[in-house]
Chains A and B, each alone.
Chain A
Amino acid sequence: MYRYDEFDKEFVSKRVAQFREQVERRVSGELSEDNFKPLRLMNGVYLQLHAYMLRVAVPYGTLSSKQMRKLAHIAKKYDRDYGHFTTRQNIQYNWPKLSDIPDILEELAEVEMHAIQTSGNCIRNVTTDHFAGAAKDEIADPRPYAEILRQWSSIHPEFSFLPRKFKIAVTGAPNDRAAIQFHDIGLEVKKDAAGRIGFAFYVGGGQGRTPMIAKLINEFVPQEDLLSYTEAILRVYNLYGRRDNKYKARIKILVHEAGIDKIREDVAAEFARIKDSVLKLPDEDVTAIEAYFAAPEFKELPNVSTAFEQAKVRDAGFKTWVEQNVTEHAKVGYGIVTISVKKPGDAPGDASSAQMNVMADLGEKYSFDELRISHEQNVVLPHVALDDLEAVYKALVEADLATSNAGLISDMIACPGLDYCALATARSIPVAQSLATKFEDDERQRDIGPLKLKISGCINACGHHHVGHIGILGVDRKGEELYQITLGGSADEQASVGQILGPGFPSDKVDDAIETIVETYLQNRTSKDEAFIDAYRRLGAEPFKQALYG
C-alpha cells in the first residue's frame, strides 16, 4: 500500500498547522465567513443543518487497518460514535465542532490521512475499482495510476480554482465497477496490440441536475502521457469552462456545448505542446509507485478448500452470504469479501466505531492489512483465503455486519438527504430504510436478482439515482416530500441515464410503487437469468408505466 514520502508528510503537517491558525483567526474575528469558507471547504469542512460536517479522503478507497481504527477513534472521540461512508469512497463525520477539527486533522495526519481537496472547485479524491488488485478481470491494478494522479493534482496551483469541482475515476478492468463514464474524466486501463499499457480517456460525464455520459475523447493514450494528456484536458477546461453560471460550470456542459470533436481538437493541440515536458512519466517512476501496490504474499492454495465447502454445508446462512457477498479472486484459493454496510433498517453506509474496529481487525488478521471503501457505500476485504471465510463471517455476524445483500435490491445507495444535508430537498434515509426492510427476505431478493436501487434527496444526485436500475429522486413540492422514479440507469460499461417514469409519489406510497415495478419485472422476465436491467432494456418503460399509472 502507498506510504507517504517526506514531501507528503511535510505538506500534510503544514496544512494542519495552517488550518489550525485559520480556525483561530476565524474564531477571533480576523477572518470573516466569506474569507474562511473557501479555506474550510478546501479542508473538507462543510456547515450542514445541525453541525459542521468533515469529509475525510480515503485515496482510491484503499486503507489499512490502522487507518480504519483511526477513523473509528475519531468517530468515538470527536463525533457521535459513527461515520458515513460515501459514494466518493470517503467517510463523513456529521457532528464535529469547528474547534475540534484541527485536532482531528492532526490525528488523521498521524496515519497518513487528510481531508484536503474533498471539497471546493479543485480536483477531488481520485476514485477507482474497489476490487482493484484482486479482481479476476483486471488488466492492471488502477491504483498506481490513481496515486500518480493524486500526487500530480494535490495543491496543483493551476487547478486549485477551477470553474467547478473535478472528479476523476480509473478502472483497470473492462467490467467497470468505478462508474468512469459518470466522471469529469474517466480512465480505462488498456493494452495495445504490442502489449503496452495505456488508457482510454472519457471526458464530460457526470450526474447532478444535468446527467451526461462521458464521451470517448481518446481511445488510447500511452502510459507515459497519462499526466500530460490529463493536464491538457484540465487546461482546456480551465480556459473555456464557464465561471458565470454555477450550473453550467462543469466540464460536461463545456463538452456538450462545444462538442466532443472541438474539445478533442483543443486538447490535442495543448497536448502536442506539453507532451514532451516534465509531465512525461518515465517507466521507472511508474514501477516505483507500482511497488507500493505490489500484491501481498499470497499462499499457494488449492482450488477447493475442504473446510470452506464443509462450512457451507453446515451453515445455510454462511452459504447464502458467500454466494452473495464473496467474489472470485484473481488468486486461486482466495475470495473478495464485500461487507455490507446496508443492514435493512439502518442508514446505508453508516458504521459505528465498534463496527469499524471489527472491520479493521478482520482486515489485519485475514486480508493482509487491507480494506477498501466502495462507491456503493460498503467495505471490502480484498484478499481473504477461502479457509478463513467462515471465521470472517462469524465475526461479522457478531458485529451485525453479515447482511447477505451485496448487489441486491436492499443494497441501496442513499445520500444523507434532508436529515443532515443543507442542500437536500427531501429525506433519503427513511425511504431507503423502509424499502430495504420491505425487501429484506433473502430468498425473495435473491429471486429478484441483481438490481441497483439508488436514492438522492435532491437534484445534486449524491445518491446516484440517475444511474440506478431503479432511481428515486426526492423533491419538495409545495412543502411535501415527493419522490420521482426513474428506470434504466446504469453506471457500468453499458452506461445509461435513467428515464423518469411519470409523476412522483408521496413518501408513504414509494414502497408500493417499487413493489409494483419489481412485480412487473418478475412477471415479464424471460427467465430468472434475465436481470432487471436487461428486461427493462428489452421491454422499455411502457409495461412499468402501465402497471404504475394505468
Chain B
Amino acid sequence: MTTPLKNTKVITANRLIDGDAVWLGTNGQWLDRVDNALVIESKEQLEAQMVIAMKSDADNYVVEPYDIDVNVESGKVVPTKFREVIRTKGPTVRTDLGKQGDFQAHAA
C-alpha cells in the first residue's frame, strides 16, 4: 500500500564539480537531461529516492538535492515551475547556452 503524491516528482541537484543541473534517474544515476529522470509517484518512493540522492550528496557528487513537481506530457517529463523548466534548457535569452545549446551543438 503506497500513498500517492499530489503531484508526480523528480529529484534534481547541481553536480559538484561543474555546477551543471542534473536529475536522478533509475539505479541512482544522475542524468544530464530531465527526459529520462525517474518519475516518482508515491510518498514512499520519494523518501527512498531522496535517501539515494542524499548519499550522492554525501559522496560529493551533487550539491543539495531537492524534489520538484513534474508532469509527463506526451511521454516527456516537464517541470511544473518555470524556474525548473529554465534549468532543463538554459537561459531563455541565449538559446546557444545550457542544455539547449549542447543539443544544438550535437545536432550541428
Q: Which residues of A contact B (CB under 8 A)?
A: 26-29, 33, 47-52, 80, 95, 97-99, 347, 418-420, 424, 427, 429-430, 433, 476, 479, 481
Chain A residues whose CB sits within 8 angstroms of the CB of B57 once the complex forms: 33
What are the 7 tightest A-B residue pairs by CB atom distance, in nearest-first order? A419-B91, A52-B19, A51-B19, A97-B18, A29-B60, A429-B93, A50-B98
Cβ-closest chain A residue relative to B101: A80
Interface residue B106 (Cβ < 8 Å from any Cβ of A): no
Interface residue B107 (Cβ < 8 Å from any Cβ of A): no
Cβ-closest chain A residue relative to B87: A49
Tell me if A430 and B93 are in contact (CB < 8 A): yes
Would you mind naming 29 contact pairs between A and B with Cβ atoms under 8 Å apart? Answer: A27-B16, A27-B17, A27-B60, A33-B64, A47-B14, A47-B63, A49-B83, A49-B87, A50-B91, A51-B14, A51-B18, A51-B19, A52-B18, A52-B19, A97-B17, A97-B18, A418-B83, A419-B86, A419-B91, A419-B93, A420-B91, A427-B92, A427-B93, A429-B91, A429-B93, A433-B93, A476-B82, A479-B81, A481-B82
Interface residue B90 (Cβ < 8 Å from any Cβ of A): yes
Tell me if A418 and B86 are in contact (CB < 8 A): yes
Tell me if B19 and A98 are in contact (CB < 8 A): yes
Tell me if A50 and B90 are in contact (CB < 8 A): yes
Chain B residues whose CB sits within 8 angstroms of the CB of A26 once the complex forms: 16, 60
Chain B residues whose CB sits within 8 angstroms of the CB of A29 once the complex forms: 59-60
Q: Which residues B73-108 have CB closer than 8 A to chain A?
A: 80-83, 86-87, 90-94, 97-98
Q: With A and B bound together, what is the CA distance between A49 and B89 in angstroms?
A: 11
B18: min CB distance to chain A, Å = 4
Cβ-closest chain A residue relative to B57: A33
Cβ-closest chain A residue relative to B90: A50
Given contacts A50-B98, A95-B97, A419-B86, 10 further A-B contacts (CB under 8 A): A29-B59, A47-B19, A50-B90, A51-B14, A52-B18, A97-B18, A97-B19, A99-B17, A418-B83, A433-B93
Cβ-closest chain B residue relative to A420: B91
Known: A27-B60, A95-B97. A48 touches B92 (CB 8 A): no
Chain A residues whose CB sits within 8 angstroms of the CB of B98 once the complex forms: 50
Known: A33-B63, A420-B91. A80 touches B86 (CB 8 A): no
Interface residue B47 (Cβ < 8 Å from any Cβ of A): no
Interface residue B44 (Cβ < 8 Å from any Cβ of A): no
A297: min CB distance to chain B, Å = 43
Q: With A and B bound together, what is the CA distance between A97 and B82 in angstroms?
A: 25
Q: With A and B bound together, what is the CA distance between A420 and B86 in angstroms?
A: 9
Among B16, B21, B90, B91, the one with the most A-chain Cβ atoms within 10 Å of its Cβ is B91
Q: With A and B bound together, what is the CA distance between A52 and B19 in angstroms?
A: 5
Other-chain residue from B17, B60, B86 in contact with A49 (beta carbon distance below 8 A): B86
B60: min CB distance to chain A, Å = 4
Q: With A and B bound together, what is the CA distance between A47 and B57 in angstroms?
A: 15
Cβ-closest chain B residue relative to A416: B91
Q: With A and B bound together, what is the CA distance between A33 and B63 in angstroms?
A: 7
Other-chain residue from B14, B21, B82 in contact with A418 (beta carbon distance below 8 A): B82
Chain A residues whose CB sits within 8 angstroms of the CB of B94 once the complex forms: 347, 419
Chain B residues whose CB sits within 8 angstroms of the CB of A427 once the complex forms: 92-93
Tell me if B93 and A347 are in contact (CB < 8 A): yes
Q: With A and B bound together, what is the CA distance between A28 and B17 in angstroms?
A: 11
Q: Which residues B39-77 have CB closer than 8 A to chain A?
A: 57, 59-60, 63-64
Q: With A and B bound together, what is the CA distance between A95 and B60 in angstroms?
A: 20
B92: min CB distance to chain A, Å = 6
Known: A28-B60, A33-B63, A479-B82. A48 touches B19 (CB 8 A): yes
Q: With A and B bound together, what is the CA distance between A429 and B17 in angstroms?
A: 28
Tell me if A50 and B21 are in contact (CB < 8 A): yes
Q: With A and B bound together, what is the CA distance between A347 and B20 in angstroms?
A: 22
Chain B residues whose CB sits within 8 angstroms of the CB of A97 once the complex forms: 17-19
Cβ-closest chain A residue relative to B99: A50
A40: min CB distance to chain B, Å = 11
Q: With A and B bound together, what is the CA distance between A26 and B61 in angstroms?
A: 10
Chain B residues whose CB sits within 8 angstroms of the CB of A418 once the complex forms: 82-83, 86
Chain B residues whose CB sits within 8 angstroms of the CB of A80 once the complex forms: 97
Q: With A and B bound together, what is the CA distance between A98 and B19 in angstroms?
A: 7
A421: min CB distance to chain B, Å = 10
